[in-house]
Amino acid sequence: MDFRFPDSPLEVAKPSSIQFGVLSPGEIRQMSVVEIEQSRSMLNGKPVRGGLSDPRLGPIDRYKGCETCANNLSECPGHFGHIELAKPVYHVGFMKTVLSIMRCVCFSCSKILLDKEHVKFKQALRIKSPKHRLKKFVDACKNKTKCEGGAEIDLRGQASDQPVKKIRGGCGAQQPNFSIVGLELVAEYKSQRKKYDEEWLPEPAERKQSLTAEKVLSVLKRISDEDCQLLGLNPEYARPDWMILQVFPIPPPAVRPPAMMSSSSMSEDDLTHQLSMIIRHNENLRKQDRSGSPAHIISEFTKILQYFVATYFDNSLLGLPKAAHGSSGRPINQ
Ligand SMILES: [Zn+2]
Ligand SMILES: [Zn+2]
């Protein structure tokens, strides 16, 4: 291969530190040069504007310059675009972390389930490694079936203006158990509640429920910055709600170049094909949502979008049919 790049005259700087983080929806929009809404990338041999070969993402052949940086094919670094997702979806790479966080906070009010005075809470705070600290919190919150602290508010009489000292100030909500099933988080309420209060128990069908990424996002969004810090997440670089995809980054064509089949025909890269499926199903979902379709229809369309987003990141996910090319049935590579 020919890698002849001219040497840069710039002085080489040494990085003083590296900060890893998760891109926020705002950052993805900010680094994007164009919103991609067209699943069709070429029409009559020309790139479609707002499609995956939009010339603002970088030149796709050697004869044209980049519409963003004006450089040619070998000089342009390529530019990211983005898709606004019609509904949030899970990011397969963050599922386990999201599960851990959900296990530590109240499903109703998003507060950490453990009392700050609890010995395990104090032990957790002594752990410097964010990963281990979160693990410790998951462990300590394991047996919390209720968001404690609601009772203290009830103790306060109507006439009294003396604030009652709240131990924790939780909302009192019962907590479900969470697990990952397929591409979703599932919440399950323990059936032992039946012994105490027949009335309060949800119907058997409701005891176990799939959680939409939208629902999980609303719980994660309400976690305070302070609680994020305590759980080992720096809210400046990795808010838990950023681990749910709301805006989807589109990599430049340079990382998914079309393959030349012959001098006249080109075959699109697998990533481009998979991205066009995401765009198409995102638009389908948006249409259903805007026309006020019933919840179960929206849910089905969201599942389809979720499937294509998940297999874009990893087409070898256990138990999932592989995303394949429509025409040949050949599985998509990553
Ligand atoms: Zn460029
Ligand atoms: Zn609560």
Question: What pLDDT is recorded for position 1?
Answer: 47
List CB-based neighbours of ion ligand 2 within 5 Å.
Answer: 106, 108-109, 147, 170-171, 173
Ligand nearest 150 Cα, by number?
2
CA of 73 to the centre of ligand 1 (A): 8
CA of 170 to the centre of ligand 2 (A): 5
- The tokens describing 325, both together, are 């090319």
Question: What pLDDT is recorded for position 21?
Answer: 84
Ligand nearest 171 Cα, by number?
2
Residue 24 burial (C-beta neighbours within 10 Å; 0-12, 13-18, 19+): middle
3-state secondary structure of 96: helix
Alpha helices in the chain (DSSP H): 25-31, 95-104, 119-125, 130-141, 150-155, 204-207, 213-221, 225-231, 270-290, 295-313
Question: What pLDDT is recorded for position 201?
Answer: 54
Question: What pLDDT is recorded for position 9?
Answer: 73
CA of 24 to the centre of ligand 2 (A): 26
CA of 110 to the centre of ligand 2 (A): 6
Question: What pLDDT is recorded for position 57?
Answer: 95
Ligand nearest 74 Cα, by number?
1
User: Cβ distance 80 to 249 under 8 Å?
Assistant: yes
pLDDT tens track, the chain, 334 positions: 455 666 767 777 888 877 778 999 999 999 999 999 998 888 988 889 999 999 999 987 778 889 999 999 889 999 999 999 999 999 999 999 999 999 999 999 999 999 888 889 999 999 999 889 999 999 999 989 999 875 444 444 454 555 545 566 788 899 999 999 999 999 998 765 454 555 555 555 468 899 999 999 999 999 999 999 999 999 999 999 999 999 999 999 888 887 766 666 667 888 999 999 999 999 999 999 999 999 999 999 999 999 999 999 887 765 667 777 766 677 776 5
Question: What pLDDT is recorded for position 252?
Answer: 94
Ligand nearest 254 Cα, by number?
1
